[in-house]
């Protein structure tokens, strides 16, 4: 079964779950877990797997406890990711405020996101899914965030040529997926 992470699919699952469909709720939670791992991994580079898992669980529990407050006429992903942002801020506050200012600035920038931008971000995450984690991170750093190859090489401890080769190979795999040849 392929899980779709579009606004429409997630909102449909949420609405079904609000109407009592337990299977839809389980599918929603599974899809949201995948999105949260990607969302938090980009914002918590130094976090341990246990910290990440705790934060994902806290966010899903918050969704569960607040789902009755969801307005069926509004964007589901905007509502859900606002919960995720608050949980991330709480996490940083609980750890002495490291990266808190940066997270809050990200929240201000992201608070005016559009559904199209979010859907595009989710599409990119689906394309990166399945690539080795190192390649995913290099694509994010160089192609999505605009870091130089030299900066990415310094951060990862690889040579510049190794970074270039890794990115090239990852883009080739993504291209094959888009063409349906892989």
- Per domain, the residue ranges of the chain are 7-94, 116-180
**pLDDT score recorded for residue 39:** 82
CA separation for the pair 100, 115 (Å, rounded): 25
Alpha-helix residue ranges (DSSP H) falling in 2-99: 7-18, 22-43, 49-66, 76-94
pLDDT > 50? residue 113: no
SS3 at position 181: coil
CATH class of 7-94: mainly alpha
Quick: pLDDT tens for 49-86.
787 888 899 999 999 998 888 889 888 988 898 888 88
Whose tokens are 């931008």? That residue is: 117
**pLDDT score recorded for residue 108:** 42
Q: Say which residues have a Cβ less than 8 Å from residue 145's Cβ, sequence separation at least 6.
A: none
DSSP 159-180: -HHHHHHHHHHHHHHHHHHHHT
**pLDDT score recorded for residue 120:** 64
Q: Say which residues have a Cβ less than 8 Å from residue 86's Cβ, sequence separation at least 6.
A: 62
CA separation for the pair 140, 167 (Å, rounded): 10
pLDDT > 90? residue 126: no
- pLDDT bracket for residue 18 (50, 70, 90): very high
**pLDDT score recorded for residue 77:** 87
Q: Say which residues have a Cβ less than 8 Å from residue 89's Cβ, sequence separation at least 6.
A: 100, 103, 104, 107
- CATH for the 116-180 domain, from 1.10.4160.10, 3.40.50.1100, 3.90.180.10, 1.10.10.10: 1.10.10.10
Quick: pLDDT tens for 135-156.
988 988 888 778 899 998 998 8
Specify whether the CB–CB gap between 166 and 138 falls below 8 A: yes
Burial class (CB in 10 A: 0-12, 13-18, 19+), 164: middle
The better pLDDT of the pair 180, 176 is held by 176
């Amino acid at each position: 079964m392929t899980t779709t992470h579009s606004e429409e699919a997630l909102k449909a699952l949420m609405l079904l779950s609000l109407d009592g469909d337990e299977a839809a709720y389980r599918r929603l939670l599974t899809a949201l877990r995948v999105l949260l791992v990607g969302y938090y991994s980009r914002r918590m580079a130094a976090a341990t797997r246990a910290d990440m898992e705790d934060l994902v669980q806290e966010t899903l529990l918050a969704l569960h406890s607040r789902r009755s407050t969801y307005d069926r006429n509004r964007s589901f992903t905007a509502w859900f990711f606002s919960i995720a942002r608050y949980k991330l801020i709480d996490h940083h506050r609980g750890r002495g405020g490291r990266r808190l200012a940066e997270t809050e600035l990200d929240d201000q920038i992201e608070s005016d996101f559009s559904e199209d931008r979010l859907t595009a971000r989710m599409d990119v995450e689906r394309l990166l899914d399945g690539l080795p984690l190192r390649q995913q991170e290099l694509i994010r750093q160089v192609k999505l965030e605009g870091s130089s190859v030299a900066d990415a090489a310094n951060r990862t401890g690889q040579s510049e040529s190794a970074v270039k080769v890794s990115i090239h190979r990852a883009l080739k795999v993504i291209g094959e997926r888009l063409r349906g040849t892989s």
